[in-house]
Amino acid sequence: MTRRLLISLVAVGLLIGVAAGPAMAAPGGVDRYQVTTTVYTISALNTYTHNYTVVTNPCDGTIDITGATPVDSGYWTVETVTGTLVDGVISFNSTYLGPHNPGYAWWGSFPVVGGALSGLYSGTVTVAGTSSTDYKNHGEFVSFMGGGPDAAHSCIGMPIH
């Protein structure tokens, strides 16, 4: 009798645990490291427009920047841009590749949320759009990247602690 009661209580406990399990999971799953891409419109001297795309690596805080001036600006050029992200501020150095004024260099900084441009020129920076990857786990990221040691050692897709 005691044994049957014990087995019944264990069975009921397991059923309750299985039913309650999904309800105890965090809504939306586990937060994971993802790559964020933000497009900025920079207006130097509130006249000269530059479009910069900033890709942020959550593993080491580094950023990659690509940039150009709009084709219809009259001074269209592709830019080589390097930069850093420190305390919510992006600092960059840019060199024109051409076709307009190859070799011209300028620099500046602005908050990641947009706002005032400072540096060689003043102006304004607006966020034109932001997107983020949505890897469900690290294995999905590694598979998407085709494997290899760089992907395997990345934090992307791993849980945020």
Whether 1 is in a domain gets the answer no
Of 19 and 80, the structure prediction assigns the larger pLDDT to 80
- Residue 13 above 80 pLDDT? no
Report the share of the chain in percent with pLDDT over 90: 75
Residues 13-41, mean pLDDT to the nearest whole number = 60
Q: pTM of the entire structure?
A: 0.79
Whether 152 is in a domain gets the answer no
Per-residue DSSP letter, 137 = S
Whether 11 is in a domain gets the answer no
pLDDT of 25 reads: 26
Which residue range(s) make up the domain with 69?
36-132
Tens of pLDDT, residue by residue over 44-79, are 998 999 999 999 999 999 999 999 999 988 899 999
Whether 110 is in a domain gets the answer yes
The residue type found at 27 is P
Whether 2 is in a domain gets the answer no
- Residue 160 above 60 pLDDT? yes
Whether 139 is in a domain gets the answer no
Phi-psi region for residue 98, left (φ > 0), alpha (ψ -120 to 50) or beta?
left
Tell me the CA distances in angstroms from 5 to 15, 17, 18, 19, 113, one per residue in order.
15, 18, 20, 21, 62
CB crowding 4-24: b at 16 or more within 10 Å, else e: eeeeeeeeeeeeeeeeeeeee
pLDDT of 74 reads: 86
Domain count, the chain: 1
Contacts with 139 (C-beta within 8 Å, 6 or more apart), sequence order:
157
Tens of pLDDT, residue by residue over 87-121, are 999 999 999 999 999 999 999 999 999 999 999 99
Whether 51 is in a domain gets the answer yes
Whether 97 is in a domain gets the answer yes
